[in-house]
Amino acid sequence: MTFMMEEFDVVVVGGGPAGATAAHDLARQGRSVALLDKAGRIKPCGGAIPPRLIRDFEIPDHMLVAKVNAARMISPSNREVDMPIDGGFVGMVEREPFDEFLRVRAAESGATRLTGSFERIEHDADGVAIVAYTAKGATEETRIRARCIIGADGARSAVAKQSVKGAEKIPCVFAYHEIVEAPTTEAPKYDAKRCDVFYQGKLSPDFYAWIFPHGDKVSIGTGSANKGFSLRGSVTELRASTGLDKMRTIRREGAPIPLKPLKRWDNGRDVVLAGDAAGVVAPSSGEGIYYAMLCGRLAADAAAEFCATGRASALRTARKRFMKAHGRVFLILGIMQYFWYSSDKRREKFVAICQDKDVQRLTWEAYMNKELVRKDPLTHIKIFLKDMAHLVGLAGPRLDRTAATSRGDA
C-alpha cells in the first residue's frame, strides 16, 4: 500500500499575526494552505494597534479591550509630557484572543490548521519541499509537501535559520512584561485610556519601559539588548513606583524582539519570511503587530505569484514592497533609538521635545496612518530647528520653565 503525502500550495509555519494573516489571504485567493502553529505560546506585547490596521485588516470592535486616547512620556527626572490624540484612538488588544481570532478567521476562509512543532524542511527527488513537524501529543514526525513555505515563526525562526543565509545573526532586544489585574479604584499613576512610556535608564538602558491598559488587565514591561540588565527587576521597580505592585499578577512572559529587517527574506527557491522572522519590528517604538500583518500579506502575495508562475524571483517582492513603503521610517526610527536612548541626558531632551504641539500632531498622524507626513513643510522645518536647539543645548531652560509652570512648580 502506497502512502500519499498530503500536499499544499503553501505551508505557513507560525500562527501569530503575520502567519495567520498570510494563511487567511492565501485561502481567500483560493490557494490550498496549511497553517502550522505551536499552541500555547503568547508573545509579550504592549498590544497597541493603529486605526490603519483596524481598517486594512477588518478587525471587529469586540476584539479591542481598550481604546487609548493619549500617551504620557516620562523622562529620567520624572518630567511628564502628555500627548493627547486629537479626535482618534489607538486600539489595545490581548494577544492570546487576538491571535486566535486571526487563526480562526484563516481556517474559516479555508486554511487547514495544524498544531505541532516545526522540525525541518527537506526536498524530495523532484525538488518539491517537504515540511516535517511533530504534531501535538505525537511521538513521530508527520511530513507534508509544499510548493512554497512562509516562515512566520518568530525572531529566532527555525525556518529562517535553515533557509536564509544570515538569518541566525539577526540582532534582538529581549522584551519582558507582566500582565496584572487593572485597578478597580482610583489609582493616581494609572489611566485606563492612556499609555505610559518611561524613558529612564534605570528601567531600560537602551529602550523604554511601559504601562499599557488592557481593559481589565494591564501590561507592564520593558526591553533591553543588554544581557546583564535585569528586566524582571526593572518591572518590579516600575510596579512599586506606580502602586501596581499591589495588583495580582496574572502571568509573566518574555521573548526576543528583532531590531531591524533582515537584508534578505527569501532563499531564492521556495521559502519567504514574514513578521518577526523577517525582522519587521519598528526601531525606537518597538511596534510590531501592524508591520507583522502587512508583512504577512505581502508574503502571501509573493507566495501566490510564485505558485502561479514558478518564478522564484517572485518571492523577493515581499521585502521590496515592504521596504519601499516603510524602509525610510525604519531608518529614521533606528537613528532616533541609537541617538536619543543612549543616555539619560538625551532621554530628558527627547521627552522635552515631545511637549511641542507640532511634534505631537505629526507623530500621531504618522502613527495612526502609517505614512510619513509630507504636508505642512514649514512645520517640519520648525521642528527640525527646535531639535537642533535641543542638541546644542539652547532650548533646555525655556522648556524647563514651561514644564514647571504647567505642573504648578513655579
Residue 216 in grid coordinates: 481589565
User: Which triple of cell numbers denotes residue 268?
Assistant: 531564492
The kind and range of the H/E element at 365 are: helix 357-369
| CB neighbour class for 166 (10 Å; exposed up to 12, middle 13-18, buried from 19) | exposed
pTM of the model: 0.89
The pLDDT tens digits of the residues spanning 145-185 come to 999 999 999 999 999 999 998 898 888 889 999 999 999 88
End-to-end CA distance of the chain: 88
The single residue listed with the C-alpha cell 537584508 is: 263
Q: What is the pLDDT of residues 14-71, one digit of tens each?
A: 999 999 999 999 999 999 999 999 976 677 788 899 999 999 999 999 999 999 999 9
Cell of 357: 504641539
pLDDT tens digits for 365-397? 888 888 765 555 444 445 444 554 444 444 444
